Structure 1
Amino acid sequence: MKKHNIIHVILTGGVGSRLWPLSRKSRPKQYLEIFEGKSLFELTVERNSAIADKVIVVGNTDNCHLSRAILEKKNVPYLDIVESTPRNTAAAIAFAALAADPDDILIVTPMDHIIEKKELYDEAVNEAIQKALKGHIVTFGIVPTKPETGYGYIESKGENVLSFREKPNLETAKNFIAKKNFLWNSGMFCFKAGVLLDELKHFQPKVYKKAKKVWEHNQDGKLDLDLSLEIPSISVDYAVMERSKKIKVIHSQFLWSDLGSFESVYDYLLSKGHPVDENGNMVIGVQNFTAFIGMKNTILVATENANLVLQKEYSQDVKDLYNELETQNSELLN
């Protein structure tokens, strides 16, 4: 396969509500330069630059300028698809596939992952490309290291997918781990553009038809709002992955975290030498002397106009606070 037929598709939707107040609508988590001076978006581009020589970014009007600035700084050839309204991942991926040639191999990744052991990542991607060339739609399962409740799971038998599972409670997650054939669902995919579109057309003809119409009316990658609102909002998991007979899963051994919560950010920063006190308390975002008395595993997140204090194990609850601020139409989200 010629290298130029491999396209890296980056989905940049989402505001990172569980990382408020660091993550704001004007600068979502994927653009925060808190990972050794780089952002998650920049790390995602770098990680795949040797595999693909073209990038398609599917983003929105709020973040497209942030993506462009990084891609232009790194001198990466790219196509920018700007959604006027979010229509979930089935439509986002369909736009990228429609922008490519049917035989192009697309490697689809979110932009909020930290991945280490890159040699194992490269192995997994190359294996996925080989399967995609044979007409399979490949998903990347991560061999789990603990019973994680923040991720979806893939039940597998070898390379075959038995089922996709939603984020479980702790007891269910422990059962998954004990069975040894469950993988974390990374949300990464690899396929021929035409194969994915054929499956979408078969299982979700309305999504396919409406997305195609929107793409045909794009203006330099910008998508029409009124036409976009006609697209059913559905994830690619529900639309295709859970229904297609062409799905294969790769058991990936690289180290992976989706950095979707302050607990995962805490663990990552700790692994990079970020200071904590003797009780595991951490400060993010400010250099001021901070003392924690009578607290353990507490995170202080400081920004210019909002601070957050939380115990690490309650990280998933930040989303509830974000939603509450959203109902108040708070300027603290901007």
Structure 2
Amino acid sequence: MEKEHSITHVILTGGMGSRLWPLSRKSQPKQYLDLFEGKSLFEMTVERNRAVANKIMVVGNIDNCHLSRQVMEKSSATYIDIIESTPRNTAAAIAFAAFASDPNDILIVTPSDHIIDAMEQYEEAIKEAIDKASKGYIVTFGIVPTKPETGYGYIERKGDDVLSFREKPNQVTAKDFISRGNFLWNSGMFCFKAGVFLDELKSFTPEVYEKSKIAWKNNINGVLDLTLSLEIPSISIDYAVMERSKKIKVVSSRFTWSDLGSFESVYDYLVSKGHHVDKDGNMVIGTSNYTAFVGLKNTIFVYTDTANLILQKERSQDVKNIYSELERKNSELLN
């Protein structure tokens, strides 16, 4: 592929994965767990775009940057490290990457905790996105839905034009979206020229633009100052730019995608890779100890050294309530 523009893969690693507690902890968020065929999601993310991008940027936070660094050193890839001293949501995280780039550089922005298969379709989607980005569009990736999923946001579209972005729906609304046929899962991946993104950010949320710029200008070896960072409004790229800009295009694709945001999606993924489940659909994660389930169906038993979790697979979105409860108590079990 012609590299007329420098193409940078920007990897966002700030997420905590609260719905995957107790596996995911502050000291070891889900993107660094070696659960997935002996590799972490972060490592798989780094490898995925190496053929396309000639630069890598990692936007992380002060608590997890050492974990990213271990992976990057293992893969011997050169990369630019941007370290947030406090999380300020995706608009600011992506702004830092854009400020660290040449305005004409094309950025492919991805989270670090997603699973992607069907690489041929993925690569086609990336190629199409780069083409649109080089023409000055801000591109978002929409996945053709395989079921009425309530854990994802949706993109309503007509061709490659975005009509609206929708929050996570309830079951009835999700079914309605699927039946209408022009709704895609919102993957949270983007592609654009750094300068185009910054222009749109400046025009729609000037405070995020200005405060991020000041914080970036005062970085020391990629590390951002805490006091300056706390000045930046904490809002997502969706609110800051995507829902307001007239330059948005969507690339629709059928690559296999999951944000592994819940134990149900981890369960489905592990089953597809041959992880053992008993005849009633029960699964054990995190221990090879003999574990028997009596009178239970579709139950997931999650073992760690300091905490265990037993849950009905379809209730996996509720794990975040336990996390919130432990957070209120300032529990050591989150670390």
TM-score by length of 2: 0.99
Residue 181 of structure 2 aligns with an amino acid whose one-letter code is K
Deviation at 1:2, TM superposition (A): 2.2
Q: Output aligned runs, 1:142-291, within 5 Å.
A: 142-291=143-292
**Which residue pairs with 1:2 in the alignment?**
3
Q: CA RMSD in A?
A: 0.7
Q: Which whole-Å CA distance do the structure 1 matches of 2:151 and 2:89 have between them?
A: 19
- Relative to structure 1, the CA distance from residue 178 to residue 26 in structure 2 (aligned partners, 3 Å threshold; closer, same or farther) is same
Q: Which whole-Å CA distance do the structure 2 matches of 1:227 and 1:318 have between them?
A: 34
Q: Which whole-Å CA distance do the structure 1 matches of 2:4 and 2:293 have between them?
A: 53
Q: Which whole-Å CA distance do the structure 2 matches of 1:244 and 1:232 have between them?
A: 19
**Which residue pairs with 2:70 in the alignment?**
69
Deviation at 1:53, TM superposition (A): 2.0
Residue 19 of structure 2 aligns with an amino acid whose one-letter code is R
Work out whether 1:83 is the aligned partner of 2:84. Answer: yes
SS of corresponding position for 1:186 = strand
Work out whether 1:59 is the aligned partner of 2:60. Answer: yes
Deviation at 1:149, TM superposition (A): 0.3
SS of corresponding position for 2:116 = strand
| Residues 53 and 77, structure 1, Cα contact 8 Å, conserved in 2 | no
Q: Which whole-Å CA distance do the structure 2 matches of 1:331 and 1:25 have between them?
A: 10
Residue 329 of structure 1 aligns with an amino acid whose one-letter code is N
Deviation at 1:117, TM superposition (A): 0.4
| Residues 5 and 104, structure 2, Cα contact 8 Å, conserved in 1 | no
SS of corresponding position for 1:22 = coil
SS of corresponding position for 2:293 = coil
Percent of aligned positions that are identical: 74
After TM superposition, the runs of 4+ consecutive aligned structure 1 residues lying more than 2 A away are 1-4
Q: Output aligned runs, 1:95-174, within 5 Å.
A: 95-174=96-175
TM-score by length of 1: 0.99
- Name stretches of at least 5 consecutive residues in structure 1 with no aligned partner: none
SS of corresponding position for 1:66 = helix
SS of corresponding position for 2:300 = strand
**Which residue pairs with 1:45 in the alignment?**
46
Residue 78 of structure 1 aligns with an amino acid whose one-letter code is Y
SS of corresponding position for 1:127 = helix
Q: Which whole-Å CA distance do the structure 2 matches of 1:245 and 1:200 have between them?
A: 12
Q: Which whole-Å CA distance do the structure 2 matches of 1:119 and 1:76 have between them?
A: 23
Deviation at 1:75, TM superposition (A): 1.0
Work out whether 1:313 is the aligned partner of 2:314. Answer: yes
- Name stretches of at least 5 consecutive residues in structure 2 with no aligned partner: none
Q: Which whole-Å CA distance do the structure 2 matches of 1:157 and 1:67 have between them?
A: 38
| Residues 88 and 234, structure 2, Cα contact 8 Å, conserved in 1 | yes
Residue 56 of structure 1 aligns with an amino acid whose one-letter code is M
Q: Residues 221-277 of structure 1, C-alpha deviation per residue, up to 9 Å, x if partnerless? A: 000011111111110000000000000001111000000000000000000000000
- Across the two proteins, how many residue pairs are aligned to each other? 334
Deviation at 1:113, TM superposition (A): 0.7
